[in-house]
Amino acid sequence: MSETTFSPHGAHLVAGDWVQTKARFANEPVNGPAQHFSVGTVDLVDRACEAAEEAFAEYAASDRETRAVFLETIASEIEARGAQVTQIGTAETGLPAARLEGERGRTTGQLRLFASHIRAGAYLDLRHDDAQPGRAPAPRPDLRMMQRPIGPVAVFGASNFPLAFSTAGGDTAAALAAGCPVVVKGHSAHPGTGEIVAEAIHAAIARTGFHPGVFSLIQGGKRDVGTALVQHPRIKAVGFTGSLGGGRALFDLCAARPEPIPFFGELGSVNPMFVLPGAAAARSGDLGKGWAGSLSMGAGQFCTNPGIAVVEAGEAAEAFARTAAEALSATGAQPMLTAGIARAYAEGAAHVAQASGVEALVSTRPEGREARPFLFRVAAADWLANQTLREEVFGPLGVIVTVRDAEEMLAVARAFPGQLTATLQMEDSDAPLARRLLPVLERMAGRILANGFPTGVEVCDSMVHGGPYPASTNFGATSVGTLSIRRFLRPVCYQDLPALVRPDDLG
């Protein structure tokens, strides 16, 4: 392997072994020749899950420092392959090198963040009620509680984040930090990227001496592979980022198991932005330009893409729409992650364009895998009458919803299903309306912004990347930030357990 070239061998990593299968599939690089990869099988799923269970007892019992070093070693091994990761990642996804390098930094950064988080130990949520043997009318036992890992976790790689939400992404990092082995179902859009990151994890396992079953990667495969993974009795939770249809199907499979398990799915969001009257009057031009930039960033392939702007009709709304249209019209074509995503984007845009009352402000003709922006405008009454206009179109497509007054803006806000984010563009004079909107937005979204744009998710303690359904399948969880570790833990109470027996962290 040269310094910058990675030639994948197209195998699965199952419990420390690189395994080939007879059936093969090809990736679809934006540039360069296609490469071939082994197709996953149900038998490989079973082997990986059984190995994860074998690894669980030892890995769950490992001390926090040892696991923290393991996470940091994975980060170092990914960085050691940085040039190759960028080379294969840009070829497979069409994402710019700078974007991939930034995403690689986010991936290694969140691994190191979880290392620091588990070292600190606060995530254990330790609680202790002393024994009261003389209490009347009944004595109280010694009670101690802490969080413990739940077991092997299945993670599905995401199409739009080949690093940060895939093989060693946030779900994997959180599960490994919690003490749970991971079986990853790689995304077929970027199997080469998945393989080189799996190599980094494999090297980190070898360096730290953990059981090889602590991580496996299974590539490709039909629906039977994903079905077998979420229904395998050894799997105790699932992390997923993807489409509403695919995620809901897996969610239902998890619920239908003889032992139902939690499915933590991020399924889609239009991330509405509410432009309040004072802000519209003061800076409609800047807001239109800024919204267009956020909307078209990365060809609109961000889960926090702000697809809908709600603004009161009038001169300021006209200026907002005009500036947004000018900025989007000047945006060049960008390759989408896959040909299938590009087709779905074109179909979604056509569907919006045909809806009653919708006016096209920027209309283009997508060509092949490349996408250009669309911009539409619709009055609130027509938008409220058509529920499909609230659904996500994955790509650089924006809809401006014009309202008559504050009451209609509130009606529009109440009509949104669950979202990852909601944004208020406001001036101080807008505070009374913002206070009326805030309780609605709190019920709607996991993150509420003021005077910003939602693209760009900070990885930190206080971040929430989740929301009510269909933004995610579990409103009490987040897939970004240190709180995400709680998805893969459960509380255990220890009553009168002698110090010689109880876990070290329990005290």
What angle (nearest 5°) sits at the alpha carbon of residue 487, between those of residues 100 and 125?
Answer: 115
C-alpha distances (whole Å) from 500 to each of 4, 490, 496, 506 are 53, 23, 12, 11
What does the block give as tokens for 367? 């060509």
Going by their DSSP bridges, the two strands 334-335 and 370-371 should be labelled as antiparallel
Give the alpha-carbon dihedral of 351, 355, 357, 363, to 10 degrees: 20
Residue pair 341/305 in contact (Cβ under 8 Å)? The answer is no
Which residue stretches of 330-394 are H helix? Answer: 339-353, 380-385
* Structure tokens belonging to residue 451: 């005077």
Name the token pair of 32: 């360069």
Distance CA 44, CA 219 (A): 10
Cβ neighbour number for residue 496 with a 10 Å cutoff: 10
How far is 386 from 355, CA to CA, in rounded Å?
8
Half-sphere exposure of 257 (CA within 13 A, CB side): 23
C-alpha span between 178 and 124 (Å, rounded): 9
CB atoms within 10 A of CB 470: 19
State yes or no: is 303 an active-site residue.
Answer: yes
**Of 195, 303, 392, 408, catalytic:** 303
Bridge-based pairing state of the strands 127-129 and 143-149: antiparallel
CA distance 72 to 494: 31
Nearest alpha carbon to residue 171 among 240, 69, 70: 240
266 has catalytic annotation: yes
Pairing of strands 182-185, 273-275: unpaired
3-class secondary-structure state, position 119: helix
Q: How far is CA 55 from CA 73, 103, 213, in A?
A: 19, 30, 5
Strands 263-266 and 237-241: parallel
State the Cα–Cα distance between residues 465 and 139, nearest whole angstrom.
Answer: 44
- Report CA dihedral (195, 342, 367, 37) to the nearest 10 degrees: 30
DSSP assigned state of 101: H
Bridge partners (DSSP) of residue 185 are 156, 218
Q: Tokens in use for 210?
A: 């953990």
Q: Single out the catalytic residue among 266, 312, 392, 408.
A: 266
Determine how many CB atoms are found less than 10 A away from the CB of residue 351: 14
What is d(CA 483, CA 479) in angstroms, rounded to the nearest whole number? 8
As annotated, the active-site residues are 266, 303
